[in-house]
């Protein structure tokens, strides 16, 4: 039986997407079991990951022997072979994997993956298209994170002259916009929990947290 990586990450399908997942996890110091049906792909990633195995994700016995059910996070990164992607998801879930993250090629594919038990389904082209468009529509928002459905955290580049050259206490953003400033970045220098005397300069990035509606409103004002 394959050695179970201590951090419980398995990546099935080593195309561009799965390869990128492997690289990111490995760069962050995680143990990764990488699986592909294609020997060339496995040889490409073998030097990088903890363990790389040639196996067919639709082969229930092979997946069982690799102990995939005991992994906490399994990424199924097979797109074009939809049948393999769906069967692999079903098998890995039935084997007991707690968190299965799948890549889908289409909305219908995504719906089927959800039905067979996928915990998260991503559609990279759709998600990335949204992000690229958002970035053009809201150029002052550098990062945006929804902490839950009501609360967001956002990095905002300040360009509105009304906000420049004033201290946080003069700006009184909590009172006026209901957002809390948790950091200010000036060029490469980041001040976490800035004092009330800190002034905002042109092109500073301020990190704010608040209700999503208030954060969105502040983003409009800051630009």
Sequence-distant (≥ 6) Cβ neighbours of residue 78 within 8 angstroms = 12, 13, 15, 18, 57, 84, 85, 88, 103
**Per-position x/- string for 80-119, each x denoting binding to ligand ATP as judged by CB under 6 A, each - no binding:** xx--x-----------------------------------
Residues 9-48, one symbol each (x = binds ligand ATP by CB under 6 A, - = not), give ---xxxxxxx----------------xxxx--x-------
| Residue closer to ligand ATP (CB basis): 79 or 210 | 79
Piece of 44-52, 73-81, 94-102, 172-180 that binds ligand ATP (CB under 6 A): 73-81
What separation in angstroms does the CA of 56 have from each of 13, 34, 62, 132, 137?
10, 12, 7, 35, 43
Q: Does 56 bind ligand ATP (CB under 6 A)?
A: yes
The answer to whether 155 touches 143, Cβ cutoff 8 Å, is yes
Determine the residue with CB nearest ligand ATP. 15
Instruction: Give contact residues for ligand ATP (rule: CB under 6 A).
Output: 12-18, 35-38, 41, 56-58, 77-81, 84, 125
């Amino acid at each position: 039986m394959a050695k179970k990586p201590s951090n419980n990450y398995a990546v099935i399908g080593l195309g561009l997407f799965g390869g990128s997942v492997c690289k990111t996890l490995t760069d962050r110091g995680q143990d990764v079991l990488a699986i592909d049906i294609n020997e060339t792909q496995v040889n490409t990633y073998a030097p990088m990951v903890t363990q790389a195995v040639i196996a067919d994700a639709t082969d229930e016995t092979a997946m069982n022997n690799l102990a995939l059910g005991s992994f906490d996070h399994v990424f199924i990164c097979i797109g074009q072979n939809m049948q393999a992607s769906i069967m692999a998801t079903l098998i890995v879930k039935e084997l007991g994997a707690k968190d299965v993250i799948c890549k889908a090629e289409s909305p219908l594919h995504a719906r089927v993956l959800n039905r067979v038990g996928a915990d998260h389904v991503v559609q990279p082209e759709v998600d990335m298209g949204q992000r690229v468009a958002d970035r053009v529509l809201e150029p002052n928002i550098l990062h945006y994170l929804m902490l839950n459905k009501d609360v967001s955290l956002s990095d905002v580049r300040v360009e509105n002259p009304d906000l420049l050259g004033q201290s946080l206490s003069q700006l009184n953003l909590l009172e006026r916009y209901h957002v809390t400033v948790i950091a200010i970045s000036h060029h490469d220098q980041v001040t976490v929990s800035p004092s009330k005397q800190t002034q905002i300069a042109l092109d500073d990035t301020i990190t704010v947290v608040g209700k999503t509606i208030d954060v969105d409103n502040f983003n409009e004002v800051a630009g």
